[in-house]
Structure 1
Amino acid sequence: MVEEYELTIVLLETGVRRGELLGLSSQDINVVHKALSVNRSIADKQGSGVLINPPKWESYRTNPLSDRAITILKWRCQSSGYLFPGWDGRPQHPDTWSQCLKRFMIALHRDYPEIPMLTAHELRHTYGTRLRRAGVDIYTIQKIMGHKDVKMTSEIYVYNEIDTLREALKDVL
């Protein structure tokens, strides 16, 4: 359960896609500059195994890291290879990890009913929503999330929450 906790925190602190998270290696983390580079994504290989692909839409990017994410990733970077490998040291299969996450979320929700059970993709959206609510502009969110175009970002993260609209317009109204 420790690994699922760490992966959940890293997802909530970075907003990377599930396959991008599983594709992270120690070379992708710059502890000094507190940055994470997204260079690959792990995907299901039809039949069996995994494929190592470029990130979706070839959205190679380098994003800032929070202190919380650095704490977890710094410890993980002490070994070479993938930061969150499968039992054999090779890339972890995304579906296998999603099942582990589901069991973790069920246990977490059982102990803390106020915490909703979320998928990896919903954790990613939570990160983007947190950015938007913190006032980060939509173009920055697009770059951080690795969306192909700003339309995708705006359709997901820009919606009419009355409190957000009121706050944005407080000096005008």
Structure 2
Amino acid sequence: MGEYIRKTARYNGKKYEATGKTELEAMTKLAEKLAAAKRGEEAIGGSMTVTAWYKQWKATYKDPKGLTKKSLGMYDEKFNGYIKPAIGSMKLKDVKDVHLQRILNGQAGKSASHVKKLRMVMQEMFKRARQSRLIPYDPAELLELPHVQTHQRRSITDEERSAILAVAEHHRAGLWVLTLLYTGMRPGETAALTWADVDFVNNEIHVHAAKESGSQAIKGPKTDSGVRDIPIHSDLLWRLQNAKKNSFAPVFPTGAGNFQNENSLRRLWTGFKRELDLYLGAKTERNRIVESVVAPDLTPYCLRHTFCTDLQKAGVPLNVAKELMGHSDIQMTANIYTHRDSSTLHNGIALLDGTRSIGGGNDGGNREMA
């Protein structure tokens, strides 16, 4: 039996080798292996690089799932921006939990959403690698979040409520803003709302669709709990009746009469918030706001949050509030219901001591319910 010729080369820190009966055969095989490695087509196994596994994992388990372009882009953004620079060239089987924890620790102080998504990407790809028997254990299983910035959604203040109600009377976004406040709908749900969904006979809004984040598509909610019927607030009912168009028209159209999208809703809110800023006393110079007074954390979701706290103040049971909010988990509703609120605390003590003074007396909790 003749001797074989062996040829070796390194690429991305990994050694590749090939053998052949002739030097040409060995070199040809080696060139094919290197070309496959550069295309990310290494043999699937623990010895493949983390980058190669990510490409295989995403193509096999994420791309076919019908995720939006925005969602798929999130995976690439987290991997290419944070995971690949740190461990992309490492062998999959050599990655330890400490390597992944260091990546997360390097994001300390950044937004909770960003850090949680980064951890999710690592946990999903390494969990699948373990389930596929490519690695003996999952190094991402017990990753801990570092200190992150949390942006708690909040209810609007009494001053903000008064100003919002006043500006809504004349602003083109007024009906949309009041709908958010009086129904607790998500902005994406309002974007998909047609007049056929507004049931004046039964005094309900039927929520069954939403504008999909990152696309123009209108789809059903992510969970069955998102499909719900919301009774129409009396102060919203007559406004909707006056604005009614044909059944297939959007309730909140763009200037061209089309359905709203993320960008147009953002502009709608920006315009309303600017008018609100002026109403609250912002200083201007040549029609430009130079000293803003409106809270920077005031977002459309504050109105949804307020709807939930209004339900709590009105004594609506937690399980009913969950249905009206379209929450999939009652804990989500409970987290809002348990937020500290002075009037709620005072009223609780009033009930305990038998005075049952709801919003009156000297408890400092006199708040008008909208």
Of residues 78, 87, 91 in structure 1, which corresponds to 2:245? 78
Asked whether the equivalents of residues 13 and 69 of structure 1 are also in contact (C-alpha less than 8 Å), the reply is yes
Q: Helix, strand or coil: the match of 1:37?
A: strand
Q: Does 1:103 align with 2:283?
A: no
- Report the 3-state secondary structure (helix = DSSP H, G, I; strand = E; otherwise coil) of the residue aligned with 2:211: strand
Aligned partner of 1:35 in structure 2 is 204
Q: What TM-score results when the alignment is normalised by the length of structure 1?
A: 0.86
* TM-superposed deviation, 1:115: 6.8
What is the correspondence of 1:133-144 to structure 2 with a 5 Å cutoff?
Answer: 133-144=313-324
1:120-165 deviation per Cα after TM superposition (whole angstroms, max 9, x unaligned): 1111111111111222111111100000011011112322335413
The Cα offsets for residues 11-46 of structure 1, whole Å up to 9 and x where unpaired, read as 111110001111111111111221111011012445
Q: Is 1:63 equivalent to 2:243 in the alignment?
A: no
Q: Percent identity?
A: 26
> How many angstroms does 1:166 deviate by?
3.3
| CA shift for structure 1 position 170 | 2.6
| Number of residue pairs the alignment of both structures matches | 170
Q: What's the CA shift for 1:106?
A: 2.0
1:6 pairs, out of 146, 171, 175, with: 175
Q: Secondary structure at the match of 2:217?
A: strand
The 8 Å contact of residues 43 and 94 in structure 1, kept in 2 or not, is answered as no
- Report what 1:170 is aligned to: 350
TM-score by length of 2: 0.43
| Counterpart for residue 19 of structure 1 | 188
Is the Cα–Cα contact under 8 Å of residues 19 and 41 in structure 1 kept in the other structure? yes
Q: Aligned equivalents of 1:145 and 1:35: distance in 2?
A: 14
Could you tell me how far 1:53 is from its partner in structure 2?
1.1
Kept in 2: contact 1:41–1:53 (CA 8 A): yes
Letter in 2 for 1:68: D
Closer/same/farther in 2, CA of residues 44 and 88 from structure 1, 3 Å limit = farther
Q: Is the 2:254–2:264 Cα contact (8 Å) retained in structure 1?
A: no
Structure index of larger Rg: 2
Partner in structure 1 of residue 299 of structure 2: 119
Query: Is residue 161 of structure 1 aligned with residue 333 of structure 2?
Result: no
Q: How large is the Cα RMSD of the aligned pairs?
A: 2.1
Match for residue 87 of structure 1 among 252, 255, 260 = 255
- What amino acid sits opposite 2:276 in the alignment? L
Runs of 4+ deviating beyond 6 Å: none
Where 1:135 maps in the other structure, the secondary structure is coil
Task: Point out which structure has higher relative CO (alpha carbons under 8 A, 6+ apart).
Answer: 1
- 1:36 is paired with a residue of what secondary structure? strand
Q: Contact 1:25–1:77 (CA<8 Å) still a contact in 2?
A: no
